Amino acid sequence: MQRNTGHQIFLHLSKDEQRRRFLERIDEPDKNWKFSLADIHEHKFWKHYMQAYEDCLTATSTHEAPWFVVPADDKENARLFVSRIVLDTLNGLKMAYPKTSAKRRRELNSIRKLVVR
């Protein structure tokens, strides 16, 4: 039996990019709903969050399920990186449809006769 492997993806946004996106959310009416004053309060703890993320990723990354840290300031390139990780992971699974046995083939032929009637 093949062992499935999983990959975990962390989208890393820089502090400057987060600030830029905050301003965009304030300035663009269609994005106002995405912003809260609590975001500014939490932004003050940036260094603490970065340390917590690093500790978490280090503690939970394994050979079978590694973490991929993807730079996410550039959304288009981040999506390309994530797509590549997903595609490589799926290709690595070497999935295939199950083979039909002779016995199962005979059973299906019998059932087919019932359907054709």
| Average confidence score pLDDT of the chain | 92
What domains, with CATH codes, occur in the chain? Answer: 8-116 (3.40.50.300)
Dist. CA 17–CA 14, nearest whole Å: 5
Mean pLDDT of 75-82: 97
Is the CB of residue 40 less than 8 Å from the CB of residue 46?
A: no
Q: Annotate 28-37 with b (16+ C-beta within 10 A) or e (fewer).
A: eeeeeeebee
Mean pLDDT of 58-64: 93
Is the CB of residue 73 less than 8 Å from the CB of residue 11?
A: no
Which positions ≥6 away from 61 have C-beta within 8 Å?
8, 67
Q: What is the pLDDT of residues 83-102, one digit of tens each?
A: 999 999 899 888 899 999 99
Q: What is the pLDDT of residues 10-41, one digit of tens each?
A: 999 999 999 999 999 999 999 999 999 999 99
Q: Where are the alpha helices (DSSP H) in the chain?
A: 15-27, 37-43, 46-60, 75-92, 102-116
